Structures are given as structure tokens and as C-alpha cells.
Amino acid sequence: MPKLNRVNDFVVKFANVNGSGSASANTLFAKSILRMGVPVSPRNIFPSNIQGLPTWYEVRVSEQGWLGRRGGVDLMVAMNQQTWDVDVAEIEPGGFLFYDNTRPMPASKLRSDVTVLGMPLTAMCNERYKDARQRQVFKNIIYVGALSQLLGIEREVVVKLIGEQYKGKEKLLQPNLDSLDLGRAWAAEHLPANFALKVERRDKVGERIFVDGNAASALGALYGGASVAAWYPITPSSSLAEAFQKYCNKYRTNPDGTKRFAIIQAEDELASIGMVIGAAWNGARAFTATSGPGISLMQEFLGLAYFAEIPAVIFDVQRGGPSTGMPTRTQQADLLSCALASHGDTQHVLLLPEDPRECFEFGALSFDLADRLQTPVFVMLDLDIGMNERLCEPFAWDDKKTMDRGKLMTTEQLEAGRPFGRYRDVDGDGITTRTWPGTHPTRGSFFTRGTTKDRDAKYSETGPDYMENMTRLQRKFQTAANLLPAPVLRRAKQPTSAGVLYFGSTSPAMDEALALLAADGLHLDALRLRGFPFPASVPEFIAEHETVFLVEQNRDAQMKMLLVHECQIDPNHVTSVRHYDGTPITARFIVQAIRELCGSEALASNGRSAR
């Protein structure tokens, strides 16, 4: 079996024990390659406990700029005997296994088609350090040093990153540098000088930034004018609220120390959304951040906000469900629970960002949409986007932009005698005019209720009043379709009768899959969905293609259900490609699934799933 031989195009995966201090070392490794001008796409795969269970950190190095998971591993850094067999099995034929051989593994635990690189890390640490914690922590830096030497990562780059990490902590700086050099020196003497996997300096990163979607969303909320956040901790959304607090402390604090924001950690998710609705009813821009179980608990209040027409923004960082499910794995499985949240007939707006840049953009936009539509708006992230750092274009903002507060009657208009009816649709778009509390001392007030009401917000149980209100809400939802970010159409390089729909974190894997399929002669037009409700361009795209695939990361084809119901399309016209094992979807999975479906008679059958 020939060995792999690649420059700036390989996958390294670290298998560690959670709580061992490996996270910062592995991130240091990824960022050092990025600093050499070579794009990387790291993903942290971690357990839901605090310490002791297996954790993985996968780094894709791609000079071509592919940011999705590829599938397979070229160099496995196996630091956890608990997962040894699974980790070794994942290595590509001709690949490499790096491990701590202080106690060498027997030949039966190795593979004949994999080159083994052993380094006595434990022995080196035991000899150098007396403290048990130091032995563990510096072991991680030593293997980063060895790998940097092996792969050709410039020492100066790693040293600079360590200096940035320990700025102001000088006592920690030198020991880390010593550990780095210890690893590099050992590797220079004992490991191959001309290793088959190499990092060479390039200029392929450009002006792009490296950030996670939760931080980007929090900054978007700040720019969007949010001043109130109410939340309850839940993986994987907690870091979004924490980032918002960090940004508010920096940018929303007066010179005298007073705060221009309110952040409340509530007793549960139901209380959180209640606080958000109350703040928004009073004129503030407010949001919560949660995940699937939190959405389940918020249902009653979400129905109130929909029916009483109160703005609210909900960042849903999706994870594997149902119930507790897989708290630290990714899925796109909250689409239906958010789009149709609460009992009765409800329809909610969803935004579907593909990367941190769109998390920032949609995070800001969501508050304009919530105010303009006077309704809850969901920003649908997932763990893959939310918690993993990713390269993206720099955020852009127009300082001349003003907040769109929607149809809001002012004190002057009320004073001038302008008629006001809270639920009167005067222009046919389904959106009515509202007032904030205290706008006028005697005019423009109304009773906010979750029960049926007439056009003037007066209590009513008559069927015609109820039907008029519900029909108007449906009309408002149709208006929303043309206010959301438009789908992104990508035409194949040659005419084709086949198309594919996708959305959210599937995007980077889809970009690569389309290129691989085209190289095989299978050309697909592609439409990336960015919001729900869908504009007319979505059913038009489906209608103009004989074969349409829909790629999504859940078991039940939830996006297909929304398409079939909202666009009245034939379910047989759309073939599902579904991935739901909790790991981010790969280009290899998409390519294999579409190849198989194109080569079978199942294209005409109802929603065959590739698994």
C-alpha cells in the first residue's frame, strides 16, 4: 500500500480525554497552520460530561479552501487508549498513526497499511516534570511541538501564538515554549525529516477572519440594537449569551460604569422567553439563546407572542434530539418545532445562516424583521456553526443604517387625531400598527391578550373576529417571504435537469460535493435556502428540474415537509438525502448518496433516504 504524499491537503485528528487540557494545544496547532496562510477547518467533537470521556479535535488542512468535513483521517494523533480501535480504523489506507509509545502497543492493535510514529511522551514528561498536572498539560504542548517539526510548521509562528495566548502570564510563557522546543528537538532527531504530509507557507487566507457562529451572532445582536437578553444555560448555545455579555461590557458601558443593557439568567427557558416578550412589548430589542429542549419548554409563550404579535428573537443552536438526545452533537432537527411552535395554527419566521458571517448579518437583521413583522423570529444555527471556529469573510456594517421598528404610531400622530386600531390591516400586508406603552397619556392604548380579539384589541369570542385575525396573520406570513434573505442560486457549468436544495451548515460540504460531482460529469444546479417562509423562486426552481435532491441533517426530512406543505409540491418530485449521526455532514457522504440515487430507479420514488 503506497503512503499518502500531500502538501497542504490532509486531515489530522486528535483523540484525547476530556479535561486533559488538550483543547488549547489542539487549537494552537490549527491556528499555527492558519497563520502560515493555509486554510484550515477545525471541529471539536466533545462529550457532554465535564471530564473523563473521549474527545476529538479534527483539523482539515485545505489549500483549495474546502471548509467542510472531508471524511477519513490521514494522520491520527491517538492519545486515548479507550478509543484506540475506533481511531485506528478511521485512518485512510497509507495514512499515519502518531501515539505515545512509552508502553508500545502490540502488533495486533496496529494496521499493516498504516505507518506508525511513536513518541515516548509520558516517559519524557515523567523525567522532566514532578507535578502530575504539569506532566499532563505540557504533554500536549510537547506533541504539538513534535507535529510542528514533522509537518514543517514554522517555529516562529507557534511561538508567536503561544506569546499571544499567555500575554500577561509570563510565568506560564517560558515553560510552554520549553515544552514546544522539547517536542521539536525530539522529532528532529527521531522522526522522518521528509515526512509525506507537509505544510508549506501560502497566501490563501487573505482577509478572512476566524470566528465561531455563536460569537458572530452575539455581535450581530449587538449591532442589531439588542439591549436585553434573557437565557438559561444549555449546550450548545450558552457561549452566545456569554459573548453578548462580553460585547455589551465593552461597547454598552458608560464612562461612569453604568450599563445600557440587561442580561438575565432566568430560572428556566420558559421564564427566559417570557422576559424577552415582556421587554419587547415595552419597546426594547430582546432575545434569548437556546437549543431544542429549550424550544420545547418555550412553546406556550411563543404562541402568545405570535397571537398577540409581539417581536422576539430566538437563537436556536440546534443539537441532536429528541429529549436530552446528543447534547454535544450537531443536527438540523428543530425546523418543525420552531416553524410551527405552539399549539393551534402558528407559522414562524426562520433564518438559516451558512457561516459566521451570515450569523452576524442575520443576527442583526432578525431584530428588524421581528419589529417589522411584530412576531418571533428564529435564527437557526447548529452546533457545527455555533461552537466551531470557521474562516469567513470579514463582517460588514453600514454605519448609516438605522433600525427598522416597523409600523409604530408616534405621539405626534396620535395627538393629531390619527385613528388607531391595534389589529386593523389598513394596507393589505397583514401587518398592523402598534404603539409602545406610554406613547400618549390618553390615546393609542390597548389591552394585550392571548385570547381572541377584534380589530381594536377588544375581547371577542365570535367566529368571524377569530377567522379575520387568523387569516390576517397568514397574510402577514406571506408578506414575510419577500422580506427575508433571498435563496442563493448557483447554476451548473452546463445545462442540467437535476438540482439540489440545501441550507445552513451543510453549505461547506455541499460546495465541495458539487465540484466533485461535476468532475465526474454529474452537473447539478444548486439553490441554498436562507429563510422560511419560502419565496416564489423556491417552487420555481423545483418545477424547472426533473430531479431534485434535498440535503438536510435530520432523520425525518423536516425541510422537505415544510416545502411540500408550504409550496404545495409533489413529494415524489424531491428526493431526500438525510444525514443524522450527530457529526457534521461530509462531502464524501453527499457525493456517494447522490451517485447511488442517480444510479437507481429510486429517483422517482418517494423521498428515498441516503444514510
Q: Mind listing the pLDDT tens digit for each residue in 176-228?
A: 999 999 999 999 999 999 999 999 999 999 999 999 999 999 999 999 999 99
pLDDT at 53: 86
**Res. 1 pLDDT band, cuts 50 70 90:** low
pLDDT at 551 over 80: yes
Mean pLDDT, the chain, integer = 95
Contact 274/297 with Cβ under 8 angstroms? Answer: no
Pick from 374, 242, 366, 241: nearest CA to 313: 366
Q: How far apart are CA 186 and CA 489, in angstroms?
A: 52
pLDDT at 600 over 60: no
Q: How far apart are CA 563 and CA 533, in angstroms?
A: 9
Q: How far apart are CA 38 and CA 486, in angstroms?
A: 32
Q: Omega into 175 within 30° of 0, i.e. cis?
A: no
pLDDT at 377 over 50: yes
pLDDT at 608 over 60: no
pLDDT at 357: 98
Matching CATH topology for 6-198 and 210-392? no
**Residue count of the chain:** 611
Question: In terms of DSSP H, where are the helices of 353-433?
Answer: 356-373, 383-387, 411-415
Query: pLDDT digits over 20-29, tens only?
Result: 889 999 999 9
Mean pLDDT of 135-143: 92
Query: pLDDT digits over 397-407, tens only?
Result: 999 999 999 99
Q: How far apart are CA 287 and CA 315, in angstroms?
A: 7
For 205-228, give the DSSP string: STT-EEEEHHHHHHHHHHHTT--E
Determine if residue 137 is left, alpha or beta; phi over 0 gives left, psi from -120 to 50 gives alpha, anything else beta. Answer: alpha
**Res. 135 pLDDT band, cuts 50 70 90:** confident
**Res. 50 pLDDT band, cuts 50 70 90:** low
Burial of 34 (C-beta count, 10 Å sphere; 0-12/13-18/19+): buried
Query: pLDDT digits over 287-339, tens only?
Result: 999 999 999 999 999 999 999 999 999 999 999 999 999 999 999 999 999 99
Strands (DSSP E) contained in 134-285 are 197-198, 209-212, 228-231, 262-265
Mean pLDDT of 528-535: 98
Contact 332/552 with Cβ under 8 angstroms? Answer: yes
pLDDT at 545 over 90: yes
pLDDT at 607: 37
pLDDT at 603 over 70: no
The residue type of 290 is T
pLDDT at 134: 87
Domain 210-392 CATH (choose: 2.40.10.220, 3.30.980.20, 3.40.50.920, 3.40.50.970):
3.40.50.970
For the chain, give the percent of residues with pLDDT over 70: 97
Query: pLDDT digits over 141-190, tens only?
Result: 999 999 999 999 999 999 999 999 988 888 889 999 999 999 999 999 99
Question: What is the 8-class DSSP label of residue 113?
Answer: T
Domain 6-198 CATH (choose: 3.30.565.10, 3.30.470.30, 3.40.920.10, 3.40.50.150):
3.40.920.10
**Of the listed ranges 45-54, 130-139, 490-499, the one predicted with least confidence:** 45-54
Q: How far apart are CA 382 and CA 465, in angstroms?
A: 39
pLDDT at 602 over 60: no
Query: pLDDT digits over 422-478, tens only?
Result: 999 999 999 999 999 999 999 999 999 999 999 999 999 999 999 999 999 999 999
pLDDT at 610: 42
The domain ranges of the chain are: 6-198, 210-392, 407-470, 488-604
pLDDT at 47: 83
- Residue 551 to residues 137, 460, 557, 590: CA-CA distances in angstroms? 41, 45, 9, 8
Which residues are registered as beta bridge partners of 316?
A: 290, 380
CATH code, residues 488-604:
3.40.50.920
The residue type of 140 is N
